[in-house]
Amino acid sequence: MRAADADRDQVADRLRAALEEGRLDLTEYDERLQGAYAAKTYGDLDRLLTDLPNAAPVVPSPRPAPPEAIVAERSGLARAWVRHVWSPWLKTAVWLTVIWLVAFVFAGDSVFYWPAWVLGPWGVVLVVRTIGGLASGEPGKYALEAEHRQALREHRHERKALYRQAIANGELPMNPSKEQRKAFIAEATARGDLAPKPRRPATGG
């Protein structure tokens, strides 16, 4: 099957990661990179990765999502980000209002809604931030950061599971030192038993 530009870029990214991990030297990386961008088929691309860890076959890039799906996704990201921005304000508003209500009941007389002195200016700041953030793409950046945090949590759980298994198998002592843990993780990553630690996504500023 014929390869697309997105597939060549995918292989180029994997070759770049292999260079940074020390699996390829600069000469090998340059040769394979040229081969990736000159590749015509998926077989040509697969041959560039066969001796690298986790060398899964290159699969066709997914087709672009239809416009309706893109609009729905962006709308969902915007709602999630707005909830994230306004959640502290809403929680504070609830607590301050409860305190005001208690004071109002026990005072037996009209009590000025003093939480407005806190919530009003704060709300104005959040309105400005919300408008500016929606205009500058903050919801997408927030989603990338959230995915990165989730990937880090999953990576940490996998790492701990490998520690427990290695201790049970006698590969590590009960209380391994920091150097022993680092060496073990490096070996596990080189074997392909553990994926590299997720990198923080580039958010364009």
Residue 60 or 3, more confident? 3
pTM of the model: 0.51
User: Does residue 171 belong to any structural domain of this protein?
Assistant: yes
Residue 86 resides in a domain: yes
Residues 54 and 72 in one domain: no
User: Residue 140's pLDDT is what?
Assistant: 87
pLDDT of residue 86: 95
Q: Are residues 71 and 57 located together in one domain of the fold?
A: no
* C-alpha span between 9 and 14 (Å, rounded): 9
Q: How far apart are CA 133 and CA 201, in angstroms?
A: 18
What's residue 54's pLDDT? 64
Rounded CA separation 185/60 (Å): 31
- Are 81 and 52 found together in one domain? no
Tell me the pLDDT tens digit for each residue of 76-91: 888 999 999 999 999 9
Q: What is the mean pLDDT of residues 182-196?
A: 83
- Where is pLDDT greater, at 66 or 74? 74
- Tell me: do 130 and 72 sit in the same domain: yes
Using an 8 Å Cβ cutoff, are 12 and 33 in contact?
yes
Share of the chain above pLDDT 90, in %: 20
Average pLDDT over residues 60-64: 57
- What do you get for the CA distance between the two ends of the chain, in Å? 38
Residue ending a domain, choose from 48, 63, 78: 63
Domain count, the chain: 3
Q: Of 9-13, 56-60, 148-152, give the range with the top mean pLDDT.
A: 148-152
Domain contains 141: no
In a domain, 85, yes or no: yes
Are 126 and 158 within one domain? no
Element (H, E) at 67: helix 67-107
**Residue 197: inside a domain, yes or no?**
no
Quote the crossing angle between the two packed helices 178-191 and 138-168, to the nearest 10°: 100
Range of the domain at 18: 1-63
Residues 48 and 83 in one domain: no
Whether residue 204 is predicted with pLDDT greater than 60 in this model: the reply is: no
Is residue 145 included in any domain, yes or no?
no
Q: For 163-174, what is each residue's pLDDT tens digit?
A: 888 888 888 888
Give residue 116's pLDDT: 94
Where a domain ends, among 136, 164, 180? 136
Whole-angstrom distance, CA of residue 39 vs CA of residue 109: 81
Whether residues 80 and 111 share a domain: the answer is yes
Give the Cβ contact number of residue 7 at 10 Å. Answer: 20
